Structure 1
Amino acid sequence: MTQELHIVGGGMAGSEAAWQAAQMGVKVVLHEMRPTVGTFAHRTGSLAEMVCSNSFRSDDDERNAVGLLHWEMRAANGLIMAMAEAHRIPAGGALAVDRDPFAESVTAKLREHPLVSIVDEEVTSLPSDGAWIIATGPLTSGTLAESIRAETGADSLAFFDAIAPIVYADSVDMNVAWLQSRYDKGETEEERTAYVNCPMDKAQYEAFIDAMLAADKAEFREGETAGYFDGCLPIEVMAERGRETPRFGPMKPIGLTNPHNPDVKPYAVVQLRRDNKLGTLYNIVGFQTKMKYGAQTDVFRMIPGLENASFARLGGIHRNTFLNSPTLLDDRMRLRSRPNIRFAGQVTGVEGYVESAAMGLLAGRMAAAEILGRDLPPPPPDTATGALITHITGGAEAKTFQPMNVNFGLFPPIEAKGGRRGRKDRYKAYTDRAKEAFTEWLAM
């Protein structure tokens, strides 16, 4: 009788792992504690629920590392990318999705698969036998986290992650704000107008920064000393690092022209990105926050155009735990002390929806191959998925290991031919090389 594969966690990584293994002919049991056991961030019992942004970031597969990762996952018939495409909403050059229908469709696809069983239960300890993938993400339950810590014999590494607020579109004053994607990016009018832009002059910006810095913030518990992931800093933490920092980050005014006052360049701009297909919800881009709820509404209503904003969800902050993967996992993503257990997703030390799903894709394929009696090596390090798994399972320094988004700095360098390459040409060379290598890996 063919061995079953058990997967703990039905987020991006667990869902993708289950799909890949089942598509290879392996029976999968997916254990998801929601909705029986909830979390601070989740609202539903759907698989692959998006609790932070609704964006998978850039979809440019020729000059962008995350876009290349999209391409590789599509080439591998990934479920997450397929459902993202099915529920895509305009976001300029980014791949953003209507979050609830997206999660519902992932759930439906897995429930309909004849080789997938979904069990609503909490797994509280590491299993001693059988083939398992732990893909519980940043919100791993306390009991399972304790079991992992007991097995690894190491202190858990952690950082704090934050989510941004969501605004009802009809509460935005469009006599002040306007619709435009930065640099009018997009092939259609809908894509070129995918963002709501709220302009600030210098006085408004300075007052806004003062209010953020003075606002009541969520306090960490005694003994919590983890830092922040730089790719998801709370907006007020950015301001603490320098008053101009937000203006050169999520509030940069470049590539935008205010049609209400085209001759005046805004000093700063707050962008809101569509959060659902209906266009009734928008999230405030880059405005992850640890401000308390009451402070959030007061401060964010200082933004021109949001004076009367109604919030579908306010921001928040949560603890995000991850393994010191370079010391604990082998290149097949197996726990060295218990090779029957693989880890996947954010808990391995990757950051982002796409990166998490990609590690689920690899873990699912590797586990299924092992059950079917063959060894599947990781993709070459010059692919996006290969660069990530190389980084987390040995490429990074264990002493300073921190979560990482995919980026071309993780790839083996490309030698310039006939002189120095420009950045765009160099990135295109990276993606061309990766696509060829990943296609060969898929044929193994």
Structure 2
Amino acid sequence: MTEPLHIIGGGMAGSEAAWAAANMGVPVVLHEMRPKVATFAHRTGHFAEMVCSNSFRSDDHERNAVGLLHWEMRAAGGLVMAMAERHRLPAGGALAVDRDPFAAAVTERLRAHPLIFVENQEVDALPSSGNWIVATGPLTSPALAESIRQATGAEALAFFDAIAPIVYAETIDMSVAWRQSRYDKGETEEEQRAYINCPMDKAQYETFIDALLAAEKTEFREGETAGYFDGCLPIEVMAERGRETLRHGPMKPVGLTNAHRPEVKPHAVVQLRRDNALGTLYNIVGFQTKMKYGAQTSVFKLIPGLEDASFARLGGIHRNTFINSPTLLDSQMRLKSRPHIRFAGQITGVEGYVESAAMGLLAGRMAAAEILGRMVSPPPPETAMGALVTHITGGAEAKSFQPMNVNFGLFPPIDAKGGRKGRKDRYKAYTDRAKQAFTAWLAG
């Protein structure tokens, strides 16, 4: 009988790892402590629950690195991308999903698989034998995190991640706000109107920044340091870096025309993106925050169109834990000191839903192959998946290792010769090369 693969954690990485291994014929025991043991950010016991944004970001697989990663995961038969497509919401060029039905669908598919067995219990220590993948994500339980620290002989790195608030759509004043995707992106009219936009003039923007900077914030406990991931900075941290930072970041007014006053160019724009299929919930794009709840309500109601808004969920902040993967993991994503254990997902230092799921898919394939008596080499570094795994298993500088989204800076450079000019053409060259390499890797 084939030995089972044990996976700790039913998030994006754990779900994808279980699916990949089971489809290779290896029995999987998926250990998920929820709903018996809750976390700060999760609301359900579903697998692959989306706790922050409901977006998998750009779906452009020809000129965007994360869109390319979408393409690779689809080509590899990934579960997350399949269920995301089934529960897709209009979001311009992005892949946004109806989060609860998406997670429920992933859960249903995993529980229905004849080779996947679910155990709802906490694993509080690294096992001494067997075949394991640790995919516990940024909210690894304190007991398991301590076991990892003891096993590696190194302190786990940590940063803080913030969650954006969600607004009830019916409480948004549409006589002020309007529907439009930036630059009217999207193939259908619905996609081109997927976002709700709230305009600010200069005075309103300055008042908002003043209130944001003065608002009461969540304080860190003694001994904790705020090592934020730059891709998910709280808005107040961005504002502290300069009063114009938000206006050139999540509140940039470019590519938008106020439907109520087309002749007036907004000084800044707050965008909200649909969060469920019914269109009853919208999240405020890029508005992760560590403000205390009372302060959030008063500050966000300064946004034109949200003066009478009601919030389905306010923002929050939680600790994200990850290991120093370049030091601790080999090219097969195995813990060097305990090679029967692999790590996958955000705990390895990749950042984002898609990146986490991709590393789960890869770890699941590698672990299953090893159990079956063969070896799967990592994808070529010219691919999105290969660039990520190369980065976390030795490509990054260990001393300054920080969470990283997939980006073309992780790929081997494209030869500038050959007549290709401009950034868009260069990115297209990256994706063309990657698709060819990934297709060959899958066939091998």
Q: Place the TM-score, normalised by the shorter chain, in its bin.
A: over 0.9
Partner of 2:175: 175
Aligned-pair CA distance for 1:155: 1.2
* AA of the residue aligned to 2:172: V
Could you say which residue in structure 1 is the equivalent of 2:81?
Answer: 81
Alignment match, 1:206: 206
State the one-letter code of the partner of 2:75. A
Distance in 2, matches of 1:332 and 1:389, equals 9
Unaligned runs of 5+ in 1: none
1:1-28 residue CA offsets vs partner (Å, 9 max, x unmatched): 2100000000000000000000000000
Q: Secondary structure at the match of 1:57?
A: strand
What one-letter code is carried by the residue in structure 2 that aligns with 1:99? R
Aligned counterparts of 2:420 and 2:371: Cα–Cα separation in 1: 47
Aligned to 1:427: 427
Aligned twin of 1:129: 129
Q: Which amino acid counterpart does residue 140 of structure 1 have in structure 2? A: T
Contact 2:41 2:51 in 1 (8 A): yes
Q: Structure 2: how far apart are the matches of 1:363 and 1:385?
A: 11
Q: Judging changes above 3 Å, is the alpha-carbon distance between structure 1 residues 19 and 90 closer, same or farther for their aligned structure 2 residues? A: same
Structure 1 residue matching 2:286: 3-state secondary structure: coil
Alignment of 1:21-420 (within 5 A): 21-419=21-419
* Structure 2: gaps spanning 5 or more residues: none
**3-state SS of paired residue (1:228):** coil
CA distance in 1, matches of 2:420, 2:46: 49
State the distance in 2 between where 1:61 and 1:298 align: 40
Question: Which residue identity lines up with residue 374 of structure 1 in the other structure?
Answer: R
Task: Give the alignment's TM-score, normalised by structure 1.
Answer: 0.99
Structure 1 CA distance for aligned equivalents of residues 197 and 140 of structure 2:
36
Distance 1:73 1:201 in 2: 42
- The CA distance in 2 between the partners of 1:258 and 1:418, in whole Å, is 43
Deviations 1:350-381 (A, max 9, x none): 00000000000000000000001001110000
- Structure 1 residues 408 and 258, CA gap change in structure 2 (3 angstroms): same
TM superposition shift of 1:419: 4.5
Contact 2:329/2:393, CA 8 A, preserved across alignment: yes
SS in 1 for 2:35: coil
Deviation >6 Å, runs of 4+: none
The answer as to whether partners of 2:420 and 2:426 remain within 8 angstroms in 1 is no
- SS of the residue corresponding to residue 33 of structure 1 reads coil
Rounded to whole Å, the distance in 1 between the matches of 2:313 and 2:307 is 16
**How far apart in 2 are the matches of 1:421 and 1:391?**
27
Q: What is the identity, as a one-letter code, of the residue corresponding to 2:285? A: V
**What is the rounded CA distance, in whole Å, between the counterparts of 1:419 and 1:116 in structure 2?**
50
Residue identity in the other structure for 2:327: T
The answer as to whether partners of 2:129 and 2:340 remain within 8 angstroms in 1 is: yes
C-alpha distance in 1, partners of 2:63/2:405?
Answer: 16
Q: What's the C-alpha RMSD, in Å, of the aligned pairs?
A: 0.6
- Distance, in Å, in 1 between the alignment partners of 2:118 and 2:167 is 33
In the TM superposition, residue 259 of structure 1 has moved relative to its aligned partner by 1.1
Equivalent position of 1:437 in the other structure: 437
* Counterpart amino acid of residue 217 in structure 2: K
Deviations 1:63-122 (A, max 9, x none): 000000000000000000000000000000000000000000000000000000011000
CA contact (8 A) 2:165 2:283 kept: yes
State the Cα distance separating 1:418 from its structure 2 match. 3.4
Aligned counterparts of 1:320 and 1:31: Cα–Cα separation in 2: 20
Matches of 2:441 and 2:4, distance apart in 1:
25
Q: CA deviation at 1:225?
A: 1.5
The one-letter code matched in structure 2 to 1:179 is R
Contact 2:275–2:282 (Cα < 8 Å) also in 1: yes
Structure 1 Cα separation of the partners of residues 423 and 254 of structure 2 = 21
Q: Deviations over 1:164-214 (max 9, x none)?
A: 000000000000000000011111010000000000000000000000000
Give the TM-score of the pair, scaled to structure 2.
0.99
Residues 27-53 of structure 1: CA deviation (Å, up to 9, x unaligned): 000000000000000000000000000
**How many residues are aligned here?**
444
Q: What SS is found at the alignment partner of 2:339?
A: strand
Letter in 2 for 1:213: L
- The one-letter code sitting in structure 2 at the alignment partner of 1:310 is S
- Deviation at residue 420 of structure 1 after TM alignment: 5.7
For 1:326 and 1:431, the matched residues in 2 are separated by 25
Residues in 2 aligned to 1:418 and 1:72: alpha-carbon distance in whole angstroms: 26
Distance of 2:259 and 2:392 partners within structure 1: 47
Counterpart position of 2:17: 17
The 3-state SS of whatever aligns with 2:81 is: helix
The one-letter code matched in structure 2 to 1:395 is: G
SS of the aligned residue for 1:37 comes to: coil
Aligned-residue offset at 1:443: 1.2
In 2, the alpha carbon distance for the partners of 1:353 and 1:210 equals: 33
Distance 2:409 2:417 in 1: 19
